[in-house]
Amino acid sequence: MPIVDFKTYCAMLDKAKKEKYAYPAINVTTSDTMAAAIEGFAKAKSDGIIQVSTGGAQHMSGGLKDMVLGGICLAEFAHRIAARYSVNIALHTDHCQPGKVDSFLKPLIAETARRRAAGLPNLFNSHMLDASELPLKENMALSVEILKLCHENEIILEVEAGVVGGEEDGVNHENAPAEKLYTTPADMVAVYEALSQVKGARYMFAATFGNVHGVYKPGNVKLKPSILKDGQDAVVAKHGQAAHFDLVFHGGSGSSEAEIRETLDYGVIKMNVDTDTQYAFTRPVAEHMFRNFDGVLKIDGEVGNKKQYDPRAWLAKGRDGVAARVAQACDDLRSSGKMMNG
């Protein structure tokens, strides 16, 4: 299927919320990880979301270190590859902090506007503005500005209030105060009241409930999924059922199945997966290198083994690892076997 349009994307999110499952949102950095993520969704017979961070986009552009160019290249590649599969794939950009709005987010929105004017489909289906480093009032002012731009171009915006702990993509919140890791019901009401000013716009909300980027040993991460329920209840009590958020779970790597499943009951329809798929790619590659040490390296003047050091040999194993981990994420989030075209 081609990369989804706005109507199909909205239908995907509505279906997930109604049936209490969520889509894995898989971070990718190269054409190999992009292809692997799509293959994983196809194996699980699940629709899904693939996302690109500012760092991932910069990596894709090589020595140019051009976030916008790298993002466009990954998205264009996805449009071509996804068209050969039966699952629906939506394209999303991950955390964009305020300092990168003008150098990443707005240029990508402008590229979609250019494409639409030429009769072409959107480049990306959704974007994330992460202005959680700002006071909530300033966060929402910027969020409303970007939501208006997105709404004009049939793009869904994801916003965040509160802080996700840990470190990801060069942004470190490992020492964030504990109270910042939990979004309050009052914060969630304020987010709704700000974003609902943009009539007809579609958005997702990453509320924080102790979640942390990265993987830590059991017991080190203190998730409180009930915070999501408390916030949803507060918003619905004041503004009605239509105000119930489409929620996003950040920092899900390493979470227990029970914790993940509980969040689905509270309106989580998207869970980011990055750290786990990074390891899923690297683990089989490392095994290949260790098992074929004298083939991938020219030891003691020998010539090595071209079939073993050919990048295609070990990249294929990395892709298989990612595809399997994506399929597992679909099982964890109950999206397996629920593709809309199935």
Q: Tell me which residues are annotated as active site.
A: 94
Distance, in Å, from the CA atom of 145 to the CA atom of 211, rounded to the nearest integer, reads 27
Q: What is the rounded distance in angstroms from the CA atom of residue 96 to the CA atom of residue 170?
A: 12
CA atoms within 13 A on the CB side of 247: 27
Give the distance between the most distant pair of CA atoms in the chain.
75
Beta strands in the chain (DSSP E): 23-27, 48-52, 89-93, 126-129, 156-161, 165-168, 171-173, 203-207, 212-213, 247-249, 268-273
247, β-bridge pairs = 205, 268
Which DSSP string corresponds to 104-154?
A: IIHHHHHHHHHHHHTTPPPS-SEEEE--TTS-HHHHHHHHHHHHHHHHHTT
Going by C-beta distance under 8 Å and a sequence separation of 6 or more, which residues neighbour residue 155? 6, 109, 112, 122, 124, 125, 126, 127, 149
